[in-house]
Amino acid sequence: MQTTKPEKTIAQVFDEFLADQKTRISHKTYLKYQSIIQLYGMYLENYWPGHNDEYDRITDAGGTYCDTFGPEDATSGYSEFLGYFMPRKVMCGKETMQAAGTVTKKLAKWLAEKGFVEDTEDDQERAGEAAKDLPNASTVVDLLNAYADETAPARRGKVIDDHFWIEKIEPGKLWLMPLSAGNTIGPIPVPGQVTQLCKEGWDIGGVVGKTAKGWRFIEVWNVSP
């Protein structure tokens, strides 16, 4: 439990990071950095990673996440922010998705260089992967919805509205496991580019339907790496 205010808060560290980057990058790039840090700060204030059991006590006293905790918690939300919040909660283009990974990787590296955190190699690796996977996932959403519109079956039987883990990938085919319950379904035909971009373990949110020729995508809401 947090009992004393740290020497520097997450909010102060974020301000220092942005001020430092402002002298090194173009104004256009700086605005991207600023936008991503604002999104990450918004995520922290809503989800309280590692401290959700302290939310009531701190907020009832007028406190916030970023003004209460120190830099050791600055990267605590990377996994959920990059794997859930960005692909499911933020409506943006592929450029912003890529920037989310790029900027958080830079932040993690900077935190270690400045001595605020001892080791951020795992955080940098996670963010670096997101810089590639998030824009790819955004592309997959567009490709699957376009494909569903083109190939929507006139008649279908059972429909499953859920999130699905990608269990197996072959060129032009996916096998999915519904998160709620049930058995693996597939193969589900998809564009070849989809299976080039996807990875096993990704989460596809959407609707699939059973047809005379097997399972087909009807609608896709999001794809989370």
Residue 143 lies in a domain: no
Residues 63-122 pLDDT 10s: 999 999 999 999 999 999 999 999 999 989 999 999 999 999 999 999 999 999 999 999
What band does 4 get if pLDDT is binned at 50, 70 and 90?
low
Query: Rounded to a whole number, what is the distance in angstroms from the first to the last CA of the chain?
Result: 32
Residue 146 lies in a domain: no
The domain total for the chain is: 2
What band does 5 get if pLDDT is binned at 50, 70 and 90?
low
Helix, strand, coil proportions of the chain in percent (round to 5)?
Answer: 50, 20, 30
Question: Distance between CA 113 and CA 28 in Å, rounded?
Answer: 24
- Please give the model's pTM, rounded to 2 decimal places: 0.89
Domain containing residue 123: 10-138
Does 210 share its domain with 129? no
Does 37 share its domain with 75? yes
Per the prediction, the chain carries an average pLDDT of 94
Does 156 share its domain with 133? no
Question: Distance between CA 33 and CA 40 in Å, rounded?
Answer: 11
Kindly report the number of other CB atoms within 10 A of residue 109's CB atom.
16
What band does 158 get if pLDDT is binned at 50, 70 and 90?
confident
